[in-house]
Amino acid sequence: MEIGISFWIGFFVFVVIMLCMDLFVFNKKESTMTMKSALVGCAFWIGMAVVFNIAIYYLLGQAKALEFLTGYLIEESLSVDNLFVFIMIFGFFKIQPKHQHKILFWGIIGAVVMRAIFIFAGVAIIEKFAWIMYIFGAFLVYTGVHMLFEKEDEKEFNPENNVMIRIFKKFIPITHDMAGENFFVRKNKILYATPFFIALLFIEISDLIFAIDSIPAVLSVSKDPFIVYTSNIFAILGLRSLYFALHGFMAYFHYLKYALSGILTFIGTKMCLNEFAVEFGHESLKISNTASLLVIISLLTISIVMSVVVKGKNNDLQPKS
């Protein structure tokens, strides 16, 4: 079965319905998301991704289902690194937890649009210039290696140094007024942007930056726009619940960056090898999606287990009062 316009319409209708229910039903009132509700949200979105994957299996076949699953896991694992940036953004602008969900919600709206642009552009470029796969692959390898040796102080967050904010200030003044939860306020007939909007702007910028890594990584698994886009969106839709669920456990993910570094490096190498195999007929060099899936799951599992074990040992070594 071919992926026609009906698949796209159906998926967009599904996304719109779920976002409307999220905003107007499940989170109608501004309140801090509890650990229980966050875990329920994570389970729900993971379950929806599994159901969607099963539907792909029956409608489009095993190969497409495997592509979706691998792409989903890649995007989900790389998105975890985004959560650390969210924490820094909300901490810097002193956004209370009860307001964070609203900012993340509208951040998702922007991500749905931006990812579509990125993915269709990426697929079009690859179809016209196959050699771009080497550039994407080399970029992912570079990013993975750089992440491995990146120092903590390189991740320090300072909006005042951001070019986008300096340009934004030239058009709209910014107020530090945190009254209410509005993105804009009007004072003396002058429109001001609030810290809530600036935080949202940085959420969108961070997603744009992470998309530069994650989309080429998923394109190494599939060049089908529908598979790439849906796997991206399902991972993004569950990102808010994942943020609140993992917020209190970030200290347990000390070794996660090594897994993400390994995933990016592996995927980048796979892109180059697979393109070389296709171009020069060396099929034995191709790395299958099944192998990619096993590598990703293994790296994530090892990093999480090591983080928990080391954290537990460090706690045991702490002097008890």
Domain count across the chain: 1
pLDDT in tens, 4-21: 788 888 888 988 888 887
Q: Residue 168 domain-assigned?
A: yes
Q: Residue 321 domain-assigned?
A: no
pLDDT in tens, 136-153: 888 888 888 887 776 655
Which of these, 123, 75, 53, lies nearest to 267 by C-alpha position? 75
45 with 241: CB under 8 angstroms?
A: yes
Q: Does 57 have pLDDT greater than 90?
A: yes
Query: Residue 61 CA to chain centroid, in angstroms?
Result: 26
Q: Residue 80 has which token pair?
A: 């975890």
Q: Which domain holds residue 241?
A: 5-315
**What integer pLDDT is reported at residue 56 of this predicted model?**
93
Give the residue-averaged pLDDT of 40-67.
Answer: 91
pLDDT in tens, 215-259: 888 888 888 899 999 998 998 888 878 887 776 666 566 777 788
Which of these, 7, 110, 23, lies nearest to 60 by C-alpha position? 7
266 with 295: CB under 8 angstroms?
A: yes
Q: Residue 140 domain-assigned?
A: yes
Q: Residue 222 domain-assigned?
A: yes
74 with 215: CB under 8 angstroms?
A: no
Q: Residue 266 has which token pair?
A: 């592996």
Q: Does 53 have pLDDT greater than 50?
A: yes
Q: Residue 320 domain-assigned?
A: no
Q: Where is average pLDDT lowest: 56-70, 132-146, 162-176, 289-303?
A: 162-176
Q: Residue 26 domain-assigned?
A: yes
53 with 68: CB under 8 angstroms?
A: yes
In angstroms, the CA 231 to CA 226 distance is 8
In angstroms, the CA 18 to CA 51 distance is 15
Q: Express as a percent the part of the chain with pLDDT over 90.
A: 8
19 with 110: CB under 8 angstroms?
A: no
Q: Residue 7 has which token pair?
A: 């698949």
Q: Which residues contact 316 (CB under 8 A, 6 or more apart)?
A: none
- Tell me the pTM: 0.77
Q: Residue 159 domain-assigned?
A: yes
The pLDDT mean for the chain works out to: 80
Give the residue-averaged pLDDT of 296-304.
Answer: 85
Q: Residue 217 domain-assigned?
A: yes
Which of these, 206, 265, 226, 212, lies nearest to 87 by C-alpha position? 206
185 with 196: CB under 8 angstroms?
A: no
pLDDT in tens, 96-146: 877 888 888 888 888 888 888 888 888 888 778 778 888 888 888 888 888
Q: Does 321 have pLDDT greater than 50?
A: no
